[in-house]
Structure 1
Amino acid sequence: MSPLTQPPPTPATPLLQVRDLCKTFPVGKQTHLRAVDHVSFDIQPGESLGLVGESGCGKSTLIRLITRLLDVTAGEIRFEDIILSTVAVRQFPQSAYRAGIQLVFQDPTDSLNPRFTAYDTITEPIRRLGHQQDKGQLQQRAAELADLVGLPQELLSRFPHQLSGGQKARVGIARAIALNPKLLVLDEPTSALDVSVQAVILHLLADLKRRLGMSYLFVSHDLNVVRLLCDRILVMYLGKIIEAGPVEAVFDHPRHPYTEALISAIPSFEAKPHPIPLTGEPRSPINPDPSVCRLYGRCPKGEDRCQQEMPVLQALDPNHWAACHFPNHE
């Protein structure tokens, strides 16, 4: 169990359902890059789900599909039992469900309009999607949001270049929660911040989740952050989910060799840490062979079967899944 969160009870209907989601990009007449390849998962109301994997595995493409910044190639995205994947990207800003899914961007500097004050940034989604134009009510809501994220109200009149990195991160978070979303997608929200500021922002996010009852989809390269903030974790490799389960189960007993290698690389105070090397080059995501495991060639357990039959996600323990022909034993 994460020290900052308590796992919520499991309801009958998930808040978000992703089924066989695919996104390909053409790179030639007959070739396609498979950025997201038949990905399926659920997010329950009030749950924090972590998404991890090395650069280029498809994490950013996946969250852009969910937040409807990219059109879907195939598969289904269902939010509150409403199919969103059929809504075109250009039409989604006018959708009634746009306010329910909000995104906190990776770099708080690049994601803020330099010509907008903090007040303008925080109230813009309210004016555009909340249809609230009354100046007094906007000022009151901006003050409430500033208090929620720990931003002094006297900073609301400042522009981004007049704010510190932590203050800009708070402005971005306040903007994202302005419409009381049910799902907050966080794209490595602390990676551009100093370590001391990261801890403050992470505690703020944990506090907001408890107070507002939101669900989180938290994308990060920092596995310690995911362990701190999330209830469950998805491990992604070259467009596919290769392991999924409760955070403590995955960290304490990783069942997939790739997950085991990721966890072994976490910096440790042990005298002799033993990181597991993944030698060789990653397989190409362009027209990948559907019969070959994506990790084959780097995996220390690779055998002939791995290049003849693609492993599928299978339940190895209650709520713990892995896609491997030779999973680790507890």
Structure 2
Amino acid sequence: MTSLSPSPPQTDTLLQVRDLCKTFSISKTANLHAVDHVSFNIQAGESVGLVGESGCGKSTLIRLVTRLLDVTSGTIQFDNTILSTVAVRQFPKSPHRKGIQLVFQDPTDSLNPRFTAYDTITEPIKRLEGGHDKAQLQARAAELAELVGLPQELLNRFPHQLSGGQKARVGIARAIALNPKLLVLDEPTSALDVSVQAVILHLLADLKERLGMSYLFVSHDLNVVRLLCDRILVMYLGKIIESGPVEQVFNHPRHPYTEALISAIPSFEAKPHPIPLTGEPRSPINPDPNVCRLYGRCPKGEDQCQQVMPTLEEVAPDHWAACHFHN
């Protein structure tokens, strides 16, 4: 298991993110801090969940990792190569481009309506590998369709002729076409019916084992993260505020925000009422570096929280939390 400690990466570390920042200029004097000094690792074959409420910076973070956005500062190291210095426009030419693939949130919006399922699945192969003749492409498309459980006869259909679950399978087949080492999943089941969600989640779990990929799984559904992931990163207003093994974080959360998220999970079991986070979130525009981002909403907030920003500390083996009252 990995940690947020500043120690050198292990030999099996696939992705290492260090002190990553992304700011957006609002005016001459105002900057929005979307991702603020974020650090984490993903090991080869590991599945890491990224959770947090809307606006916390999850989407910006995965766009940085997949090199759809240029970084403001910090480093992204993938497979022992620094990628954060490669400009977004140059990244498609990088040999590491096919090693990081993205499964988008909405399977309908992410598919070209003029492309058949076959065209969509084979497009990344033609663009990033080349050298394949028609027979090889057809064989690979058939192999990928079988892997994701898409009937062969649907390969010639357009997106509007497919169900939501079938479109999700096409998007996954496209993402794994180049045998990536890291698959970034941006809430891949949120736009699907509940019954279809379960099928797609089982498919993703099976593909991870069969193909040996690592996952960075973004979701609002903590139950899904608990089922699919080995570790969890909890993000709030641009910062990682807790990280650790899934079961340890769920059973013994050390940050008030994580406690509140877990307490809000629907359950048939008798349990305490959800922990309320009253008040308004702090602004991510020019945030005070000395004030905890949760101050003002936190039930444990004290004077110290608006004087010293808490930093991530190891509160248990491989379990990190950024709170003055983590014990």
TM-score, normalising length: structure 2: 0.96
Q: In the alignment, is the contact (CA less than 8 A) between 1:236 and 1:243 conserved in 2?
A: yes
Query: Which residue type is aligned with residue 284 of structure 2?
Result: P
Q: Give % identity.
A: 84
> Is the 1:105–1:186 Cα contact (8 Å) retained in structure 2?
yes
Q: Is 1:92 aligned to residue 91 of structure 2?
A: yes
Q: Superposition pairs for residues 38-187 of structure 1, below 5 Å?
A: 38-187=37-186
Whole-angstrom CA distance in 2 between matches of 1:148 and 1:204: 9
Q: State the partner residue of 2:3.
A: none
CA distance in 2, matches of 1:301, 1:81: 41
Deviation (angstroms), 1:235: 0.1
Cα drift, residue 131 of structure 1: 1.1
1:295 counterpart residue number: 294
Determine helix, strand or coil for the equivalent of 1:143: helix
Amino acid at match of 1:301: K
Offset at residue 270 of structure 1 (A): 2.6
Residues in 2 aligned to 1:236 and 1:322: alpha-carbon distance in whole angstroms: 11
Letter aligned with residue 180 of structure 1: N
CA apart distance, 1:271: 4.3
Map of 1:227-246 to 2, 5 A cutoff?
Answer: 227-246=226-245
Deviation at 1:317, TM superposition (A): 0.3
- Report the alpha carbon displacement of residue 157 of structure 1 after superposing the two structures with TM: 0.1
Q: Does 1:201 align with 2:200?
A: yes
- 2:313 alignment partner AA: Q
> Residues 233 and 245 of structure 1 are in contact (CA less than 8 Å); yes or no, is this contact kept in structure 2?
yes
User: Which residues of structure 1 form unaligned runs of 5+?
Assistant: 1-9
CA contact (8 A) 1:37 1:239 kept: yes
Deviations 1:204-246 (A, max 9, x none): 0000000000000000000000000000000000000000000
Shift of 1:12: 2.7
| Residue of structure 1 in register with 2:19 after alignment | 20
- Counterpart CA distance in 2 for 1:176 and 1:266 is 30
Matched letter for residue 172 of structure 1: G
The residue type paired with residue 129 of structure 1 is L
1:283 corresponding residue in structure 2: 282
Distance between the aligned counterparts of 2:31 and 2:12, measured in 1? 35
Task: Provide the rounded CA distance (Å) in 2 between the counterparts of 1:322 and 1:127.
Answer: 44
Q: CA contact under 8 A between 1:101 and 1:183: conserved in structure 2?
A: yes
1:294 Cα offset (Å): 0.1
> How far apart are the structure 1 equivalents of 2:270 and 2:96?
51
RMSD: 1.0
| Deviation beyond 6 Å, 4+ runs, structure 1 | none
User: Equivalent residue for 1:251?
Assistant: 250
Structure 1 contact 118–156 (Cα < 8 Å) conserved: yes
Q: Distance in 1 between matches of 2:237 and 2:301?
A: 17
1:56-114 CA-to-partner distances (Å, cap 9, x unmatched) read 00000000000000000000000011000000000001111000000000000000000
Q: Hey, what's the Cα distance between the residues in 1 that align with 2:196 and 2:115?
A: 23
Please list every run of 5 or more consecutive structure 2 residues that lacks an aligned counterpart in the other structure: 1-8
Letter in 1 for 2:72: T
Counterpart CA distance in 1 for 2:149 and 2:19 is 40
Task: Report the secondary structure of 2:224's partner residue.
Answer: helix
Distance in 1 (CA, whole Å) between partners of 2:70 and 2:166 is 33
Shift of residue 130 of structure 1? Answer: 1.3
Partners of 1:272 and 1:13 in 2: CA distance: 40
SS of 1:15's equivalent in the other structure is: strand
**Residue 68 of structure 1 contacts residue 92 of structure 1 at CA under 8 Å; is this kept in 2?**
yes
Would you say the 8 A contact 1:126–1:132 is kept in 2?
A: no
Task: Give 3-state SS (helix, strand or coil) of 1:76's partner.
Answer: strand
User: What is the one-letter code of the residue matched to 2:215?
Assistant: Y
TM-score by length of 1: 0.96
Q: Aligned partners of 2:23, 2:302: CA distance in 1, in Å?
A: 28
